Amino acid sequence: MSALSLYRIAYNAGEDHSAINNYFYYNAISAEQAVAFHQAMLERKKATGQILSVERHNPYSQQWEDESGQLKRRGDDPPVN
């Protein structure tokens, strides 16, 4: 069993509403799982949004580490920058 990590997904409502960014936090095993949780939440709330970044919290350095590039390398839908 893999350990859970804290992921932060930065997103906004879309191109027409890109002035305000929001964050959602998920406990997940991987960045892909965090994105899947986020997509499920948007569908459940009947909302739309574009993902700007996916970051994992490093408990040792107390920093957020960008995981967006790993999603692109694995062939998943890349976050919009």
Task: Look at residue 57 and tell me if it is in a domain.
Answer: yes
Query: Has this prediction a pTM greater than 0.75?
Result: yes
In which domain, by residue range, is 19 found?
Answer: 5-73
Q: Provide the number of structural domains found in the chain.
A: 1
Task: Look at residue 48 and tell me if it is in a domain.
Answer: yes
Task: Look at residue 18 and tell me if it is in a domain.
Answer: yes
Dist CA 21 CA 23 (whole Å)? 7
Q: What is the pLDDT along the chain (81 residues), one digit of tens a residue?
A: 579 999 999 998 776 666 788 999 999 999 999 999 999 999 999 988 889 999 999 999 999 999 998 776 555 554 554
Task: Look at residue 81 and tell me if it is in a domain.
Answer: no
Give residue 53's identity as a one-letter amino acid code. S
Nearest residue to 15 (alpha-carbon basis) of 52, 40, 45: 52
